[in-house]
Amino acid sequence: MSAELIGLKLGARAEIELHNPPMNLVSRELTLQLRDALTAVSGDASVRAVVLYGTGGRAFCAGSDVKEFERLHGRVAEGKLLLEKLVYRQLARLEVPVIAAIEGYALGGGLELALCCDLRVAGQDAKFGLPELRLGVVPGSGGTQRLPRIVGPAIAKEMILLGGTIDAAAARQAGLVNRVVPAGDALAEARRMADVIAERGPVAVRIAKRLIDAAADRSLDDGLALELDESERVFATADMLEGAAAFFAKRPATFRGE
């Protein structure tokens, strides 16, 4: 029987815990269990935001389990990367926002996992890096593609080609993380942010995430046209009427996702 490497809590604020101590390494089994957790999140209409974090304080996720590398010689795509790409894509394409709470190390595949999230909160002692070239391999689960889109090609090349680590302050300056909080407080801050998102209109939140993601791959005119179409959808919802009514009544809105 496989060990439980992923913890899942469903609800308006869903939580996914990486549980492969002490460093929460990415193994094939962890990836398979993460796929099941993401499928459960996608199928639960009550979920409005997700928090992703690693157990313990040493690492969010320190990367791939290097012990698996030898048996992947000559077959890394079929044995590892195709599965990871599918699951990481599944995470990135969740309809609801995902917030990574990062304490300790986020390295290699762990940083690639965090890059799939919409927001990243780091404890001030967190460390970030893509050290794969030091092992004679490349970041193969999205690092060479997602990192430049977030921090730009110059910083991405520095992080990947030199293979060093940067601290939370440098990650914040580069735009890699959204917020830096005292060490040990990342999960509490991520939960607070998720609760704020969960109070917003769920239809509008999902559409806003989709529009922002689409902006990277569209011309401005195409993006504005899509924004107009999606705004029509939002303004046809009961949630829009509830939001306006709550504003004039000076009360919190009760959104139902309708």
At 215, the amino acid letter reads A
Of 112, 199, 232, 258, which one is the catalytic site residue?
112
Active site residue 132: yes
Name the DSSP class of 95. Answer: S
- Cβ partners under 8 Å of residue 24, min gap 6: 18, 54, 55, 56, 59, 60, 61, 62, 110
* Residue whose structure tokens are 């030199």: 162
Taking a C-beta distance cutoff of 8 angstroms, is the pair 163, 107 a contact?
Answer: no
Active site residue 112: yes
- What residues does 50 pair with on adjacent strands? 14, 98
End-to-end CA distance of the chain: 42
Of 103, 132, 189, 230, which one is the catalytic site residue?
132
Q: Are strands 165-167 and 127-129 parallel, antiparallel or unpaired?
A: antiparallel
Question: Closest Cα to residue 109, out of 124, 87, 78?
Answer: 87
- Cβ partners under 8 Å of residue 143, min gap 6: 108, 111, 112, 115, 130, 132, 160
At 118, the amino acid letter reads D
Residues catalogued as catalytic: 112, 132
